[in-house]
Structure 1
Amino acid sequence: MAAEVERRIDAGTYPAGERLPGLVALSTEFGVAVSTIQKALAHLKTQGVVRVELGLGTWPVPPADRG
């Protein structure tokens, strides 16, 4: 799941500077539970692929800016 979200970020489906869809929208899009999306996004955060701002959302980090 995390790999597919990362692939979509890298492909520009979820462009940098634009907030990712919400958890419910992503779970519907991928046909998985919200908890699965939460785990995938948590993994991507630790990898530097996304940044999370509590109460505001999750944003993709451009590949060039990843640590």
Structure 2
Amino acid sequence: MDWKSDVPRWRQVYEVLEERITDGTYPPGSQLPGVVALHAEFGIAQMTARRVLSELRQAGLAQMQVGVGTFVTDLPKP
């Protein structure tokens, strides 16, 4: 996390998680860290963590299961 960067914090965390999804660290079907875990790992506000998860869902990389968590979707084959 580069606190002095012009890139918004949510975007920096988004890019880290996107990389972890595409490199297989978080394979399809696996649960992503929740808001509290993202807050602890990256030192971001919980509202920022919620935005990161929302942006991942909007990009089609994740889906939320209410009351359970956010999970990686099946990625299209290149």
Higher helix share goes to which structure? Answer: 1
Q: TM-score range by the shorter chain?
A: 0.7 to 0.9
The number of equivalent residue pairs is 65
How high is the sequence identity, in percent, across the aligned residues? Answer: 38
Q: CA RMSD in A?
A: 1.5
Q: Which runs of 5+ in 1 are unaligned?
A: none
1:2-47 deviation digits (Å, cap 9, x = unpaired): 1221111111222222211221112111221111110011111111
Following TM superposition, where does structure 1 have runs of at least 4 consecutive aligned residues deviating by more than 6 angstroms? none
Q: Which runs of 5+ in 2 are unaligned?
A: 1-12
TM-score, reference length from structure 2: 0.72
TM-score, reference length from structure 1: 0.81
Greater relative contact order (Cα < 8 A, sep 6+): 1
